[in-house]
Amino acid sequence: MKILLTGGAGYIGSILTRELMKAGHDVRIFDNLTYGKESIPDGVELVNGDLMNILKVARAVRGTDAIIHLAAIVGDPSGKLIPDETLAVNYFGTRNLAEAGKHFGINRFVLASTCSVYGFREGICTEATEPNPISNYAETKVLAERALASIPDVNPVILRLGTVYGLSPRMRFDLVANLLIAKALWEGKITVYGKGKQFRPFVHVRDVADAFRMGLEVAPGTYNVGSDEQNHSVRELAEIIATNVRAAEVVFVEQKEDNRSYRASFEKFVALGFAPRFKIPDAVREIKDAKNKGVLKDYTEARYSNFETLKNSFKPGR
């Protein structure tokens, strides 16, 4: 199958590209290379372009059999930094891509969304739970989901991802699990702001890649992606990491906590065969190994943070 993978040079995309190739698919990456192209494997077709350039989008879509749409401005800090660009890319860019796919007769569109659309919830969120976005980023993802649902014949597969973690060729340390693991390994101290009571559903980046491969085959619909047993509070997350990095201590700092807190049910996707293979201790081991081999040296470098990279490359409101 010829697959158009937007955002293929990114944190998830660089893993997914390799997994799709292993499965025998022909991958075409569409990426604006904001975070560089070092993570793209040799020999992969690359279309360097932006989702707002409809000509580039059409050329990228033409001749493919399926679209996996990862490209986005991701994360609450980035969405707050450049709100207009976040709306343009995440919502209007998604519409452009879907309309192009419809025009060329592509009947498989898989969208990367987020469990952040649930915002703050006391109970367990299922796919039927009404979204309650409390950030610009989450709002644009809700808009993107609704846009796809409104376009006839697109029939998308929407994957609402938990908070992703784990080692990737295009590494990120602005994700809470990766950041706390880095603090444990580099500094021996895991800093938790507030009491760490807020919950997140966590999922390893390699399991996310498996989910997108499944997304090429499952019935159209919306699916939460993660595992019930990895609904952790930030405090629990810190304690798990500390257990696996024995020299590290957990330090609590008085500060207002993040007002996002939600747990999700993943029963719907698991019932179709999704079986997460990795947990937080696996990420600790792989990141520690990469550090020891010199692959990862300074986790505070701007290139490991979406926000810092965008701050250095975008002028808000330009």
The CATH number of residue 123's host domain is 3.40.50.720
Q: Tell me whether residue 184 is in a domain.
A: yes
pLDDT of residue 256: 74
Q: Tell me whether residue 148 is in a domain.
A: yes
Residue 69 shares a structural domain with residue 188: no
For residue range 185-204, list pLDDT tens digits in order: 999 999 999 899 999 999 99
Residue 121 shares a structural domain with residue 137: yes
pLDDT band at residue 315 using 50, 70 and 90 as cut-offs:
low
Residue 106 shares a structural domain with residue 175: no
Q: Tell me whether residue 32 is in a domain.
A: yes
Q: Tell me whether residue 186 is in a domain.
A: yes
Rounded to whole angstroms, the Cα distance separating 27 from 66 reads: 10
pLDDT of residue 257: 66
List, as one string, the DSSP characters of the chain: -EEEEETTTSTTHHHHHHHHHHTT-EEEEEE--TT-STTSPTT-EEEE--TT-HHHHHHHHTT-SEEEE--S--SHHHHHHSHHHHHIIIIIHHHHHHHHHHHTT---EEEEEEGGGG-EEEEEE-TTSPP---SHHHHHHHHHHHHHHHSTT---EEEEE-EEES--SS--S-SHHHHHHHIIIIISEEEEETT---EEEEEEHHHHHHHHHHHTTSPSEEEEES-GGGEEEHHHHHHHHHHHSTT-EEEEE--PPPS-EEEE--HHHHTTT------HHHHHHHHHHHHHTTS---TTSGGG-HHHHHHHH--TT-
Residue 64 shares a structural domain with residue 147: yes
Tell me what the pLDDT averaged over the chain comes to: 95
Residue 127 shares a structural domain with residue 193: no
Q: Which domain holds residue 289?
A: 166-201+229-261+278-310
Q: Tell me whether residue 266 is in a domain.
A: no
For residue range 5-28, list pLDDT tens digits in order: 999 999 999 999 999 999 999 999
Q: Tell me whether residue 250 is in a domain.
A: yes
Listed in sequence order, the residues at least 6 apart from 279 whose beta carbon sits closer than 8 Å to its beta carbon are: 204, 230
Q: Please compute the mean of the pLDDT values over residues 176-191 and round it to a whole number.
A: 97
The CATH number of residue 236's host domain is 3.90.25.10
Residue 80 shares a structural domain with residue 213: yes
Do residues 63 and 103 touch, judged by C-beta distance below 8 A? no
Residue 99 shares a structural domain with residue 124: yes
Residue 208 shares a structural domain with residue 78: yes
Q: Please compute the mean of the pLDDT values over residues 94-104 and round it to a whole number.
A: 97
Query: Is the per-residue pLDDT at 314 higher than 90?
Result: no
Query: Is the per-residue pLDDT at 316 higher than 50?
Result: no
Query: Is the per-residue pLDDT at 318 higher than 60?
Result: no
pLDDT of residue 317: 45
Q: Which two tokens stand for residue 91?
A: 């919502």
Q: Tell me whether residue 270 is in a domain.
A: no
Q: What is the pTM of this model?
A: 0.96
For residue range 256-286, list pLDDT tens digits in order: 767 778 999 999 999 999 999 999 999 999 9
Residue 105 shares a structural domain with residue 50: yes
Q: Tell me whether residue 45 is in a domain.
A: yes
pLDDT of residue 122: 86
Residue 147 shares a structural domain with residue 68: yes
Q: Please compute the mean of the pLDDT values over residues 120-143 and round it to a whole number.
A: 95
Residue 224 shares a structural domain with residue 192: no
Count of the separate structural domains present in the chain:
2
Residue 154 shares a structural domain with residue 45: yes
Q: Which of the pair, 180 or 247, is modelled with greater confidence?
A: 180
